[in-house]
Amino acid sequence: MGEITDLQSIIIRGRIEAIGNKIITPELAAQIGGAVGTYLGPKGIMVVAREFNNNNRMLKRAFISGLMSTGVNILNLHSAPVPVLQFSIRRFGAESGVYFGNGSATEGIIQIRFFDSSGIEYDKSNLESVNEYFKNNKIIRANPLNVGAISDIPHTLDIYKKAIPQFINRKLLKSKNLVVVVDCSYGPSSIVVPSILTELQNDCIAINAYENDQKANDMFPNLRSIKDVVNIVKASNSHLGIVLDSDGSRALYIDETGTILTFEELMMFFLKYDKELSTVSSGSTIIISKSSSKVLEQFATDLNELKVLKSKNFPGEISRSLREERAILGGSDTYKFYFPKYGPFSDATFTTLKILEILATQDLPLSVLIRSFPRYLHAYKTIPISEKKIYSFVSKLKNYIRKKKDNELDENIDFQDLLIGIKIIVKDMGWVVISPSVHVNTIELTAEGFDSQKSEELISLATECVEKSQK
């Protein structure tokens, strides 16, 4: 790829995304910073944060220089999870925020994500406005005396760690001494999550909870790290296992038997057992992604005649729908959960505390609490795979599907990253999940089509993807 003259060429699903220091160079990052600063206007305030690794650090600093040149002031969080950035935007009344992260991607991919004054990701129109300044080279530089200032906000993490437990029953949780295993995926959540859990008197077994630049360049979580958590949960008789995404916005959750809960099971868990949600008036609204299982919509309707609205799973869309509809809960099948009382965005730390609060209230194992939940009707298939290949399977599958979608330009096919696998969504057909098993050397295919024939067609499509991605 040559010189970038139009950001649209590297905007993927509402985020700037490309290989760091090869496509997104420091020079390009500074130019993007200038375009964003011109869009915000002089004397604006922007909160800036990043994941660990030197690529993110380098590009963030280059972006800051371009931003300051337009007169925008910066509140610098250094390394922090995305939810801490969103928390800080709202707390300090900033106009915007930006985050440099890896996005669970491979090959040195960098994601640049922008947020508005509510902590919600930019929509298409915001990015188009920024791009107009960029591609037309209409960056307005500030007078030398009015260059933006940069300020550290070092106590924000401490404020966040004290603020977030205020939304749950701390006294009850402290009395239960639950045992939790948490994998921080070498991300900045390691700065906050273990200490919050420990402060609430949980026995916290934290792994991959430190900064390691080489590890931060790899894809985490991965199958090996997820398997480690499953095994540690069972060996330590823990109540809950958590595998955080590296940016802290979402996580996989594992019950005491070593079983990974599905998104639908977690949504049903919150709707049935969360004290505030289970007592809402009938007709209240929840927001879910369009590719969620049909069983979730039926469960919500049967439970309390809840109104279910489906949203496109695009950055910021569910957050905006929550506000417009005054919904009581939101969730996407990428394991993001939105509790409006806390904020209009997904925070894996808060989601974890809600799960622990319910476990403390119900005083029963997680596997028992979800046992009665309905399961979706689907087609299912397993494909054997060697132990050597299974650990690189997801990375190869992601690369194959990305290239297939880019080359074929098929608007009818989309895909979602599920941390442990991939969900392929086919318009007018349904969806199929492809994921490696954590217990045996097999690939599991699970499909929910609009009818049984389409479910089988989706299984065939997924089988083809598995076979071709491993060649």
Looking from the CA of 432 toward its CB, the CA atoms found within 13 Å total 29
Q: What ranges do the domains of the chain cover?
A: 7-153, 159-370, 379-469
* Cα angle 29-211-243, degrees, rounded to a multiple of 5: 100
Q: Do domains 7-153 and 379-469 have the same CATH topology?
A: no
Q: Which long-range contacts (CB under 8 A, 24 or more apart) does 84-87 make?
A: 84/49, 84/156, 84/157, 84/160, 84/188, 84/192, 84/248, 85/47, 85/49, 85/115, 85/119, 86/115, 86/119, 86/343, 86/345, 86/347, 87/119, 87/156, 87/160, 87/163, 87/343, 87/347
C-alpha to C-alpha distance for 469 and 397, rounded to whole angstroms: 5
Can you give the pLDDT at residue 406?
Answer: 64
Q: Which residues touch 345 (CB under 8 Å, ≥6 apart)?
A: 83, 86, 119, 120, 249, 319, 338
Can you give the pLDDT at residue 108?
Answer: 80
Can you give the pLDDT at residue 244?
Answer: 97
Domain 7-153 in CATH 3.40.50.620: no
Can you give the pLDDT at residue 399?
Answer: 82
Q: Which residues touch 243 (CB under 8 Å, ≥6 apart)?
A: 183, 185, 221, 225, 226, 229, 251, 252, 254, 419
ω into 221 cis (within 30 of 0):
yes
8 A C-beta contact, residue 116 and residue 122: yes
User: DSSP string of 346-372?
Assistant: B-HHHHHHHHHHHHHHH-S-HHHHHTT
8 A C-beta contact, residue 37 and residue 67: yes
Mark out the alpha helices in 274-316 (DSSP H runs): 275-278, 294-304
Q: Which residues touch 15 (CB under 8 Å, ≥6 apart)?
A: 103, 111, 112, 113, 121, 315
Q: Which long-range contacts (CB under 8 A, 24 or more apart) does 373-378 make?
A: 373/264, 373/265, 373/268, 373/269, 373/299, 374/295, 374/298, 374/299, 375/295, 376/264, 376/293, 376/294, 376/295, 376/448, 377/295, 377/448, 378/446, 378/447, 378/448, 378/455
Identify the CATH assignment for 159-370 out of 2.40.110.10, 3.90.550.10, 3.40.120.10, 3.40.50.10680: 3.40.120.10
> Which amino acid, one-letter code, is at 37?
G
CA separation (Å) from 391 to 103, 228, 436? 19, 13, 9
Q: Are strands 150-152 and 240-244 parallel, antiparallel or unpaired?
A: unpaired
Q: What is the dihedral of CA 353, 355, 360, 362, to 10 degrees?
A: 160
Looking from the CA of 176 toward its CB, the CA atoms found within 13 Å total 22
Q: Which residues touch 281 (CB under 8 Å, ≥6 apart)?
A: none
Structure tokens at 400: 């194959």
C-alpha to C-alpha distance for 388 and 386, rounded to whole angstroms: 5
8 A C-beta contact, residue 409 and residue 211: no
- 3-state class (DSSP) for residue 66: helix
Q: What is the pTM of this model?
A: 0.95
Can you give the pLDDT at residue 7?
Answer: 96
- 3-state class (DSSP) for residue 301: helix
> Which amino acid, one-letter code, is at 400?
Y
Can you give the pLDDT at residue 282?
Answer: 83
CA nearest to 379, candidates 446, 433, 300, 453: 446
C-alpha to C-alpha distance for 182 and 210, rounded to whole angstroms: 12
- 3-state class (DSSP) for residue 456: helix
pLDDT in tens, the chain (471 residues): 678 999 999 998 889 999 999 999 999 999 999 999 999 999 899 999 999 989 999 999 999 999 999 999 999 999 999 999 999 999 999 999 999 998 655 568 899 999 999 999 999 999 999 999 999 999 999 999 999 999 999 889 999 999 999 999 999 999 999 999 999 999 999 999 999 999 999 999 999 998 876 665 667 899 999 999 999 999 999 999 999 999 999 999 999 999 999 999 999 999 999 998 988 888 899 999 999 999 999 999 999 899 999 998 889 999 999 999 999 999 999 999 999 999 999 999 999 999 999 999 999 999 999 999 998 778 999 999 999 899 989 888 888 887 776 665 567 888 899 999 999 999 999 999 999 999 999 999 999 999 999 999 999 999 999 999 887
Domain 379-469 in CATH 3.30.310.50: yes
Q: Are strands 379-384 and 285-289 parallel, antiparallel or unpaired?
A: unpaired
Can you give the pLDDT at residue 378?
Answer: 82
C-alpha to C-alpha distance for 398 and 394, rounded to whole angstroms: 6
